[in-house]
Amino acid sequence: MRKAIFLIQTSDRKGLLAEISTFFYSHGYNILLCRQYTDVRENKYFMRIIIDLCEQTTRKQLEEDFAQLARKFDLHYSLYYDDVPQNVAIMVSKTSHCLYDLLMHAEEGDLNCRIPLIISNHPDLESVADRFRIPFYCCPMVPDGKAAQEERVLDLLKRHRIDLVVLARYMQILSDHFIEQFPQRIINIHHAFLPAFQGGNPYERAWERGVKMIGATAHYATAELDEGPIIEQDVERISHENDPSDLKNIGKDIERRVLTRAVRAHLEHRVITSGCRTIVFSR
């Protein structure tokens, strides 16, 4: 069964569900799943709908027909097909826990994607890439060489037709120019429960503050550091007996599972961005 996935958002008003579902029915499509959410404070309507692609029509015809409906009802939407795996690039520095988790889930088929390359600003994790037989590119950062380094990385991403960039503890701040090339298609893991402890050394600052819970946050990267729309978060309880090194070790497990869950949600087309917020459908 081939499926098409629509992510739709528009201003809320009566009859939207009926109009959209009637469109698919009248065109002979079977609706396999429909999830909706209404933000009453912002008067916005969000929908995720999956249909069975019938054989009597083409994808081009579906796209043209739905575009007419979208214009009529002012629907902002994106359309995806489940038989088209996305190309994912993973960017890392020196720590491997998030990288390992992503690679293992991809290898086991839990993430519907291809990973054609791993990029790092250090050579430390090349052996990990070798174990999974994925090409590894080291693009070191040298003084006054940030622009040139990013252009090299962007060239690699373009050549491999990358759809999604995952920053799996890539410890460099991306330029605005870089982020603009992949709007809402760069996922970063921050080792803190945002919006608390933005920037560097969050575990040290959390320990100094005496927090009783630490967490991690996966979000879309934007020009504003650690301010992008949040996709996934999780926490673990700690106590006064835990020092900063304990917090880092506990945090590793939170980071890897939060990042993988966020990447899975994106790859399964379950995330709609609305301003600084995200609507993440459970299925």
Where do the structural domains in the chain lie, given as residue ranges?
A: 3-81, 86-280
27, 30, 33, 36 alpha-carbon torsion, rounded to 10°: 20
Q: Please say if 124 is a catalytic residue.
A: no
- Label residue 165 by pLDDT band (50, 70, 90): very high
Angle at which helices 202-209 and 244-267 cross, to 10°: 120
Of these residues, 110, 226, 234, 246, which one is catalytic? Answer: 226
Q: How far apart are CA 240 and CA 232, in angstroms?
A: 26
* CA 26/CA 19 separation, integer angstroms: 10
Q: What is the pTM of this model?
A: 0.94
Fold of 86-280: Rossmann fold (3.40.50)
In this prediction, residues 68-73 reach a mean pLDDT of 96
Cis upstream peptide for 195 (omega within 30°): yes
pLDDT tens per residue, range 199-237: 778 888 888 889 898 889 999 999 888 889 999 999 999
The letter for the amino acid at 60 is: K
Cβ(84)–Cβ(267) below 8 Å: no
Question: What was the pLDDT predicted at 35?
Answer: 97
pLDDT tens for 90-132 read 999 999 999 999 999 999 999 999 999 999 999 999 999 999 9
CATH class of 3-81: alpha beta
* Sequence-distant contacts of 23-28: CB under 8 A, at least 24 apart: 23/65, 23/66, 23/69, 24/49, 24/51, 27/57, 27/62, 27/65, 28/54, 28/56, 28/57
* pLDDT tens-digit readout, 194-209: 777 777 788 888 888 8
